[in-house]
Structure 1
Amino acid sequence: MSNFFSLEIGKRSVLMHQTALSITGHNIANANTPGYTRQVADIVTTPPWHAPSLVQSGKPGQLGTGVEIAAVNRVRDEFIDTQIRHENKAEGYWAAMQNTLAKIEVILNEPTEDGLRGVMDMFWESWQDLSLHPESEAVRAVVVQRGMSLAEAFNHTHRQLVELREDVNAQVKVKVNEVNSIAMQIADLNKQILAVTISGKRPNDLLDKRDLLIDDLSRIADVKVFTDKNNMVTLQLGDRVLVEGKDYNRLGVNTDQEMYMVIWEDTQTRAKISSGELRGLLDARGRSSNPQEANPSEYKEIIPNMIADLNSLAKTIITKTNDIHRSGYSLNNNDNSNYLYPDGRNFFNQPVDINDSVDWAKFMSLNDEIINDLKNIAVAARPTWGKDPLGNLIKANFGDGGVALDIAQLKHYLNDSEWRIDSSPITDLAVTSFSFDIDGVTIIVDNTVTPPDPAPIQNMYDLAVALQEQIDGTALKGKIMVRSNGNQLTFYSNSNSFTLDTGTAVQISGKINQVTTDDYWRSVCADIGVLSQESQRVLKNQEVLLNELENKRQSISGVSLDEEMTNMIRFQHAYNAAARFITSIDEAMEVVINRMGLVGR
Structure 2
Amino acid sequence: MLMSNLYVGVTGLQTSQNALNTTAHNLANIGTEGYTRQQVSQGDRHYDTISMDPAVAHKQIGLGSAYVNCKQVRSVFLDASYRKESGRSEFYNVSAKALEHVEDQLQEMNGAEFKENLNNLWVAVQELSKDPTSAVNQSAFINRCAEFTESAKAVYKGFTDYQNNLDSKVKKLVDEINDTADAIHELNLKITAIETGGVEHANDLRDTRNKLLDRLGELGNIEYEEDKFGTVNVSFEGTQLVLTDNVHHLACDTDESSEGFITVYWEYAGKQYRDEDGNKKVDISGARVYDLTQTVSTVANTDVGELRSTLLARGDHHATWHDITEDSTGEYYNQNISQSVIMNLEAEFDQMYNNIVTAVNRAIEEAASNPATLARLKNPASKDSPSNYDIFVQMDDTDCLKYDIGSETSGFEMMPAGTVKTGFSVTNTKVNELLLQTPTLNTFITLDGEEDAAAAAALKSVFTDEIYTLNPSVTTKVDMLDYYNAMISQVANTGNVNKTLAENQEMTVATISAAREQIVGVSSDEELEYMIEFQNAYNASSRFINVVSEMLEHIVTTLGR
Is the 2:184–2:212 Cα contact (8 Å) retained in structure 1? yes
**Match for residue 262 of structure 2?**
260
Matches within 5 A, 1:422-501: none
Matches within 5 A, 1:185-334: 185-200=183-198, 201-257=200-256, 258-268=260-270, 269=284, 270-273=287-290, 274=302, 275-287=304-316, 297=335, 300-328=339-367
Which whole-Å CA distance do the structure 2 matches of 1:288 and 1:371 have between them?
33
Matched, 1:559 2:561: no
1:207 maps to a residue whose letter is R
- Comparing 82-91 with 56-65, which one deviates more in the overlay? 56-65
Gaps in structure 1 of 5+ consecutive residues = 386-394, 418-511
Matches within 5 A, 1:314-463: 314-328=353-367, 345-350=389-394, 360-380=425-445, 382=446, 385=448, 395=449, 399=451, 401-415=453-467
Is the 1:130–1:379 Cα contact (8 Å) retained in structure 2? no
CA drift of 1:158 comes to 0.8
Matched, 1:528 2:545: no
CA drift of 1:58 comes to 7.5
Q: 1:574 to 1:378 in 2, by over 3 A?
A: farther
Deviation string 1:202-243 (CA, Å, 9 cap, x unpaired) is: 222222211221111111111211221112121122353111
SS of aligned partner of 2:70: strand
Q: Which has the larger radius of gyration?
A: 1
Is the 1:318–1:348 Cα contact (8 Å) retained in structure 2? yes
SS of aligned partner of 1:249: coil
- Comparing 306-315 with 405-414, which one deviates more in the overlay? 405-414
**Match for residue 573 of structure 1?**
536
Q: 1:163 to 1:336 in 2, by over 3 A?
A: closer
Q: 1:189 to 1:55 in 2, by over 3 A?
A: farther
Is the 1:27–1:559 Cα contact (8 Å) retained in structure 2? yes
Gaps in structure 2 of 5+ consecutive residues = 271-283, 291-301, 319-330, 397-407, 410-419, 470-474
SS of aligned partner of 2:43: strand
Is the 1:154–1:364 Cα contact (8 Å) retained in structure 2? no
Which whole-Å CA distance do the structure 2 matches of 1:263 and 1:230 have between them?
30
Matched, 1:146 2:211: no
Which whole-Å CA distance do the structure 2 matches of 1:183 and 1:334 have between them?
70
Is the 2:317–2:343 Cα contact (8 Å) retained in structure 1? no
**Match for residue 503 of structure 2?**
540
Give % identity. 24
Is the 1:93–1:277 Cα contact (8 Å) retained in structure 2? yes
CA drift of 1:261 comes to 0.9
Matches within 5 A, 1:64-213: 64-109=62-107, 114-200=112-198, 201-213=200-212
Is the 1:326–1:378 Cα contact (8 Å) retained in structure 2? no
Is the 1:41–1:73 Cα contact (8 Å) retained in structure 2? yes
Pairwise CA RMSD: 3.3
1:22 maps to a residue whose letter is N
CA drift of 1:53 comes to 4.0
CA drift of 1:536 comes to 1.0
CA drift of 1:266 comes to 2.2
Q: 1:378 to 1:362 in 2, by over 3 A?
A: farther
**Match for residue 457 of structure 1?**
none
SS of aligned partner of 2:63: coil
Which whole-Å CA distance do the structure 2 matches of 1:21 and 1:55 have between them?
43
Which whole-Å CA distance do the structure 2 matches of 1:128 and 1:541 have between them?
47
Deviation string 1:438-481 (CA, Å, 9 cap, x unpaired) is: xxxxxxxxxxxxxxxxxxxxxxxxxxxxxxxxxxxxxxxxxxxx
**Match for residue 24 of structure 2?**
25
- Comparing 294-303 with 163-172, which one deviates more in the overlay? 294-303
TM-score by length of 2: 0.78
Is the 1:76–1:557 Cα contact (8 Å) retained in structure 2? yes
2:171 maps to a residue whose letter is K
Which whole-Å CA distance do the structure 2 matches of 1:287 and 1:132 have between them?
46
CA drift of 1:26 comes to 0.9
CA drift of 1:65 comes to 2.7
2:456 maps to a residue whose letter is A
Which whole-Å CA distance do the structure 2 matches of 1:287 and 1:89 have between them?
22
CA drift of 1:69 comes to 1.0
SS of aligned partner of 1:31: coil
Which whole-Å CA distance do the structure 2 matches of 1:368 and 1:69 have between them?
89
CA drift of 1:560 comes to 0.7
2:266 maps to a residue whose letter is W
Is the 1:85–1:218 Cα contact (8 Å) retained in structure 2? yes
Deviation string 1:486-544 (CA, Å, 9 cap, x unpaired) is: xxxxxxxxxxxxxxxxxxxxxxxxxx964211122222222222221111111111111
Larger RCO (CA under 8 A, 6+ residues apart): 2
2:93 maps to a residue whose letter is A
Is the 2:185–2:243 Cα contact (8 Å) retained in structure 1? yes
SS of aligned partner of 1:555: helix
Deviation string 1:255-297 (CA, Å, 9 cap, x unpaired) is: 24311111111222333334311111121122369xxxx9775
Q: How many residues align?
A: 485
Is the 1:325–1:379 Cα contact (8 Å) retained in structure 2? no
TM-score by length of 1: 0.73
Which whole-Å CA distance do the structure 2 matches of 1:569 and 1:541 have between them?
43
Which whole-Å CA distance do the structure 2 matches of 1:94 and 1:186 have between them?
26
Is the 1:113–1:119 Cα contact (8 Å) retained in structure 2? no
Deviation string 1:111-154 (CA, Å, 9 cap, x unpaired) is: 99943333211101012112224444333332232212101111
Is the 1:110–1:525 Cα contact (8 Å) retained in structure 2? no
CA drift of 1:301 comes to 2.7
SS of aligned partner of 2:39: strand
Which whole-Å CA distance do the structure 1 matches of 2:151 and 2:390 have between them?
19
Which whole-Å CA distance do the structure 2 matches of 1:20 and 1:363 have between them?
75
Q: 1:351 to 1:410 in 2, by over 3 A?
A: same
Is the 1:75–1:556 Cα contact (8 Å) retained in structure 2? yes
SS of aligned partner of 1:374: coil
CA drift of 1:182 comes to 0.7
Is the 2:220–2:237 Cα contact (8 Å) retained in structure 1? no
More strand per residue: 1
SS of aligned partner of 1:73: strand
